[in-house]
Structure 1
Amino acid sequence: MMVNLKNPVTNQFKQCKAGFSWTVFFFGFFPALFRGDWKWLLIILGIDLVTGFWSFGLVSGVANIVFAFIYNKLYINDLLSAGYIPADESSKNALLAKGFTVRE
């Protein structure tokens, strides 16, 4: 389910998927890189490097599966914390249905 978020200060719009992240599942840290999400890029890349080095990539693969389930929620929470708000009523309802705290 896609949600539209808007920053009322800069009028910047972002369209995000709420739910499982297939892009993180298949491509690891690259979605964070392309979104400019530097915090989670470094965290995922660091976990991949540290766990992949001594386990021949097995633990890194498991970590990417875990991040596939939680990354979109982390990304949307960071955007909401940065001042983004739902751009429309359907996005607001979708976020509330997924358990996000939305301010007006």
Structure 2
Amino acid sequence: MTDQQEPTEIPGLTVIPADDLKPEDIGMLSVRYVDGAAQLVVTGGTALPAHLPVVDAQGAVVAAYLQAQIPPKRSLARSSAGDENLLLDAVATVGSVSIAYNANSNEHSYYR
């Protein structure tokens, strides 16, 4: 696993050759676990690796992480009354969803 893939272009990020970086430009990476899931944490610097090899205790490469574009944040969607298809589509494509329901009307004043 010695081949390094070329970094892909991601809007807002610039690929910088490693030879052009100063030591103070390079962020320090560490790993933390949140709810059992690993996260890479960068501290300081302004540059991150586009290719991150993972090595075992002997230094042999066992995996690699490549930069990837972060999906955009989800936005608010409004549906009209009775539009269950929009909700079903959101559950199918997004996963968990939150809904807000306006119960401030006379129809909701009494329950049986």
Q: Same fold (TM over 0.5)?
A: no
More helix by share: 1
Higher RCO (Cα < 8 Å, 6 or more apart): 1
More strand by share: 2
TM-score (norm 2): 0.28
TM-score (norm 1): 0.30
Higher Cα Rg, which structure? 2
